[in-house]
Amino acid sequence: MTNYKIKNIILGISMSTSKNLKLNLRQSISLVLGNMIGVGIFMLPASLSQYGSISILGWIISGFMALFIASIFRRLSTNFPGENGPFHYTEKSFGEFIGFFVIWGYWVSILLVNASIAIAVTSYSTVFFDFLNISSFAMIFTILILFSIAIINYYGIKSAGNFQLITSLIKIIPLLVTIVIGFYVFEINNFFPINSSNESNFNVINITTTLTFFAFLGIESATIPGDRIENPKKNIPRATIIGTIITIFIYLLSMIALIGIIPTDEIANSNAPFADAIGTVLGDNIKKAIAIFAIISGLGSLNGWTLLQIEIPKSLAKRKLMGKIFLKKNKNDVPYLGLILSTCLVTCLIIMNFSKNLTEIFTYLILTSTFCSLMLYLFISISEFMILIKEKKTLSDLKTSLLTGIPTFLFIVWIIYGIGYESIISGLILLSFSIPIYIYQKKYA
């Protein structure tokens, strides 16, 4: 065999191996779709229904603004392809420390998200296992779920990507079933009173928009592992917009259908709202089937967030902003020590919060997570504008950035107002850890 042929074979194997380590467009869309459509939509109705059907307005406002944020990420990923997403955008516009502060907060929010998702999977599992209503058993079960997903991610990004694609397709099924059934047995009286709380309409819309916006976290998912996606200049913007639009329609229609099936007061007292709603129409066997789908949805979402959970510290470690431990990889090219360490941190968050019931833990964790991730969206909303200013672009070039950036910035400030002091204080404490870590890494590491 000639040297020329040998070189071609080696090159072909190398290209094939490289391609196998990257996500294609379908898997990238499923990463966005899977991270957004997690157990948030399956658990949030229980948290929202105490306010009445006015919560639908919260979904509409959150969805509209999610589309604005998605368009900002689409333009940034088009102009800066192949970069590690949010850190690069904020660093380019505000400097390295702000970039680190923002992405640290985002990483913390992912740890909180993963804790809340694992808890929500346990909550839906109570449909099958009564012993999970006992706090100690529920905690052990939740931790086992967490480590099971970590094992899947241990075997590489393609393994995680394929799992994500399959679960993203499966998780949509119960939502579509709810939409179809909901409009057959639709009961308009379930929507009244529109505001069933003692709060003013303005306060309720603020609170419900804050809660529902949690379900849209993950808009930026495709931009995080930018170097792990095929043809990032085209696939990242496409995945971001397509995933967001599909998610908005599914959320809105399924929530309207859910309230159309059972009253909001019944939803508020349910551990598994979609399963209970379908069960009232089609019986307990179907109720259990819906619960299975919800559990699969949670596992898929947990898988996608776990992928980002290890990618972020790895990219920061490359910049010497986090410890070298996050760079050590196994034979599957996975930073396994970072995976183990971050999974242990999520486990600690779960143990610390298990004095509350499942719904209370879920609500507290998602509000704190939302606050931490809002720091990313707050800076991203004006990052594009700042970059264009630095590049001395004309006013006409700035118009699109201003039309989406300013409303997004004001929306994020409004959302922060609705989070509540407990989660804001918890979030600020977690964010403050970024300061000593940054100083240590820059001066002593």
The label of the residue with tokens 């709380």 reads: 197
Q: Assess whether pLDDT exceeds 80 at residue 176.
A: yes
Residues 162-173: tens digit of each pLDDT: 776 787 778 788
CA–CA distance, 103 with 295 (Å, rounded to integer): 29
Q: HSE-up of 136 (CA within 13 Å, CB side)?
A: 0
117 within 8 A of 39, measured Cβ to Cβ: yes
Q: Assess whether pLDDT exceeds 60 at residue 16.
A: no
CA–CA distance, 409 with 104 (Å, rounded to integer): 20
Q: Where are the alpha helices (DSSP H) in 262-357?
A: 264-268, 273-282, 284-318, 336-353
Can you give the residue ranges of every domain in the chain?
A: 24-443
Split at pLDDT 50, 70, 90, the class of 7 is very low
Q: What is the pLDDT of residue 96?
A: 92
Residues 323-374: tens digit of each pLDDT: 888 988 888 888 899 999 999 999 988 887 666 666 677 777 878 888 998 9
Specify which of 44-48, 76-80, 198-202 reaches the highest per-range mean pLDDT.
Answer: 198-202
Residues 228-256: tens digit of each pLDDT: 678 877 888 888 888 888 889 989 999 99
CA–CA distance, 168 with 284 (Å, rounded to integer): 25
Q: What is the pLDDT of residue 160?
A: 66
Q: Assess whether pLDDT exceeds 90 at residue 56.
A: yes
Q: What is the mean pLDDT of residues 87-92?
A: 86
Nearby residues of 179 by Cβ (< 8 Å), 6 or more positions away: 253, 254, 257
Nearby residues of 274 by Cβ (< 8 Å), 6 or more positions away: 42, 45, 174, 175, 178, 254, 258, 290, 294
24-443 is a CATH 2.60.40.10 domain: no
Q: Assess whether pLDDT exceeds 50 at residue 226.
A: yes
Residues 399-436: tens digit of each pLDDT: 888 888 999 999 999 988 888 888 899 999 999 999 99
Q: What is the pLDDT of residue 104?
A: 94
Split at pLDDT 50, 70, 90, the class of 76 is confident
Cβ-based neighbour number of residue 175 at 10 Å: 24
The phi, psi pair for 81, rounded to 5°, reads -70, 150
Q: Assess whether pLDDT exceeds 70 at residue 138.
A: yes
Split at pLDDT 50, 70, 90, the class of 135 is confident
The phi, psi pair for 427, rounded to 5°, reads -65, -40
Q: What is the pLDDT of residue 351?
A: 85
Q: Assess whether pLDDT exceeds 70 at residue 81.
A: no
| Beta-bridge mates of residue 23 | 229
Q: Assess whether pLDDT exceeds 50 at residue 6.
A: no
CA–CA distance, 210 with 415 (Å, rounded to integer): 5
